[in-house]
Chains A and B, each alone.
Chain A
Amino acid sequence: MSFGRRGRIERALTGRADARDVGKLIADLRDDPRMRAEYDRGALAMRTLERAAVAEVEIDLIERWLEADGTLDGAPEVAAPTRWLWIGVAALAAGAAVLALRPPTPVGEPNDGLQPRGMHGHPQAGWLGVSVLCDGGHGSHALDESSTCPIDASIGFAIRIDARHHGGEHFVLFGVDEHGELQYYLPTPDASAPTLVDRDRWIPLGRAVRLSVNHTPGRVRVFAGLLAHPPTLDALEQAAATLARDRGDDENPWIERLGPGHRLVADCAFGRCLGAELEFRVDAATPVEPPI
């Protein structure tokens, strides 16, 4: 059993689990009989220790579970942004970039810079957050509609998945520039997309993209999704072509804008998939400072 799984069991059985642990723990327990057996045995030990039919830690865990799925209000809020968190180096063949990630704002908060367009008022608003970081060699900043990144800089990505999401796990991330060109981020022809199972924390994606390689100055829309099936490059290209024609005045999430018949979002009905999007602008090269 992996260290992460064992850790989740131990936190649950010692009363230290929070809502962030619950989604993954439950999914693991459903899927893994060996893990379930270990968990059950530990719970029996707690019941015996407490001389109770059901241990206090079990009662607490179900309360966290009800918080995590939205049945009970008052789930512990994610800490509001207090500082930038430096996360290290992400490398791609094109080069490396030092990325700084902004800790998340509370889930679903209106006017959140990370709030994807089309998700305001949506029941799953804020469940998938995407952050694009621009590193121009003189510090990093998160990009949004009002900010720019110079063409000679690199961008990196981080995403965050709400613990209430129990649907598709297959991640996709791509861009469409103002000329309708698809920008592969994940998957690419050379790299498959990861399956993401962590919840309620920002996950830095181990990629940096040097904009000068494939991007041109202008607006870039970035689309992130958690899908029911692994995204294929063909389906991705079709989706990008459709979204390139999208004028952006439809307030629905991009997954819904594609429509149920699109291959990329197959089996995404009933909130099984999540989508997020944002845009930023690529500027011309940073002016070179004249030597002093």
Chain B
Amino acid sequence: MRDVYRAHVTEIANLLRHGFSFESAGRAHRFIGYASAFELQDALHETFRRAFEPAARLAFDGIRPYAPYLRTIARNVVLRTFRAGREMFPIADDQGAPGDDAVVLADTQPSAEHDTMRKQMEGIVRAFLDGLAAADRELLMLRFVEGISQRDVADRLGLGRQQVRGREAKLRQALIDHLREHDAGTTLGATWIAAPLATLIAEALR
């Protein structure tokens, strides 16, 4: 199951991050995705927890594509989240036909709100990167710009994988420290990121 999780988690995470469109009662709606990392993780965890339940595993025949099945579960997890307050979205059966995800249309473009948050954070991260030593910047470039795995970065730099992992953890910690220093002089961090989920849900009538 761990391999299944690793194989599909990025796709489902992107779905929950960027949102999806769906139809209900003949109307088109759009969930624009979770801005809150914790809410996204909560939904992502719940998706895989449900998918890996014994009953769900038995219900899946192993022949039909698994990814659409997971997307349907993820969609239902999202809709259940705010269904309690808004009895307006019908929920498909998790055990229903896998692959029947015609109403789930993943959007690949981030919303305007997400884009704004991202740009604000980019400035902070850019300043952090500018202050790093060349060796640290190289490691991060290899890892996150070129998208190379820790193992391959280790080979390229002549380091052990644990060394790369350790250096990366230290750099992440340094970024957290930099972020805290930045936020110490502003209330920004505690305000816009804590926007309630309700404000992140948008609907567009077709």
Interface residues of A (CB under 8 A from B): 10, 13-16, 29, 33-34, 36-54, 57-59, 61-63, 65-66, 69, 71-74
Q: How far is the CA of A66 from the CA of B4 in the complex (A)?
A: 13
B105 on the A face (CB < 8 A): no
A-B contacts besides A10-B173, A58-B41, 17 pairs, CB < 8 Å: A39-B38, A40-B37, A40-B193, A43-B37, A43-B38, A44-B117, A45-B121, A49-B125, A49-B128, A50-B143, A53-B14, A53-B17, A54-B10, A62-B44, A63-B2, A63-B5, A74-B2
B5 and A66 form a contact (CB under 8 A): yes
B9 and A44 form a contact (CB under 8 A): no
A48 and B2 form a contact (CB under 8 A): no
Q: How far is the CB of B122 from chain A (nearest CB, A)?
A: 6
> Count of A-B contacts with CB under 8 A?
121
B173-200 contacts to A (CB < 8 Å):
173, 175-176, 179, 183, 189-190, 193-194
A49 and B172 form a contact (CB under 8 A): yes
A14 and B52 form a contact (CB under 8 A): no
Q: How far is the CB of B148 from chain A (nearest CB, A)?
A: 12
By a CB distance below 8 angstroms, the chain A residues around B13 are 53-54, 58-59
Contact residue among A37, A66, A74 (Cβ-Cβ distance under 8 Å from B189): A37
Known: A48-B118, A66-B49. A36 touches B5 (CB 8 A): no
B45 and A66 form a contact (CB under 8 A): yes
B9 and A51 form a contact (CB under 8 A): no
By a CB distance below 8 angstroms, the chain B residues around A73 are 1-2
B9-64 contacts to A (CB < 8 Å):
9-10, 13-14, 17-18, 35-38, 40-41, 44-45, 48-49, 52
**Interface 1/0 per residue, B149-191 and A, CB below 8 Å:** 0000000000000000100111011011001000100000110
Q: How far is the CA of A77 from the CA of B31 in the complex (A)?
A: 39
Q: How far is the CA of A39 from the CA of B40 in the complex (A)?
A: 12
Q: Which of B110, B122, B144 lies at the interface centre, i.e. has the most chain A CB atoms within 10 A of its CB? A: B144
Q: How far is the CA of A34 from the CA of B118 in the complex (A)?
A: 20
B190 and A34 form a contact (CB under 8 A): yes
Main secondary structure of the interface of A (DSSP, over half): helix
Q: How far is the CA of A10 from the CA of B176 in the complex (A)?
A: 8
Q: How far is the CB of B33 from chain A (nearest CB, A)?
A: 9
Q: How far is the CA of A223 from the CA of B38 in the complex (A)?
A: 37
B124 on the A face (CB < 8 A): yes
By a CB distance below 8 angstroms, the chain B residues around A52 are 144
By a CB distance below 8 angstroms, the chain B residues around A49 are 125, 128, 140, 144, 172, 175
By a CB distance below 8 angstroms, the chain B residues around A71 are 1, 48-49, 52
Q: How many residues of B contact A (CB 8 A)?
A: 47
By a CB distance below 8 angstroms, the chain B residues around A61 are 41
Q: How far is the CA of A33 from the CA of B38 in the complex (A)?
A: 11
B38 and A40 form a contact (CB under 8 A): yes
B194 and A46 form a contact (CB under 8 A): no
Q: How far is the CA of A47 from the CA of B110 in the complex (A)?
A: 13
Counting from the closest, the 3 A-B pairs by CB-CB distance are A43-B37, A54-B13, A37-B194
| CB nearest to A25 among chain B residues | B38
B145 on the A face (CB < 8 A): yes
Q: How far is the CB of A55 from chain B (nearest CB, A)?
A: 8
B14 and A54 form a contact (CB under 8 A): yes
Contact residue among A15, A29, A66 (Cβ-Cβ distance under 8 Å from B165): A15
Q: How far is the CA of A272 from the CA of B49 in the complex (A)?
A: 19
What are 20 residue pairs bridging A and B, where the CB atoms are less than 8 Å apart in the complex? A10-B173, A15-B165, A16-B169, A36-B38, A37-B189, A37-B190, A37-B194, A39-B37, A41-B183, A43-B37, A45-B121, A45-B124, A46-B172, A49-B140, A49-B172, A62-B9, A62-B45, A63-B2, A72-B2, A72-B5
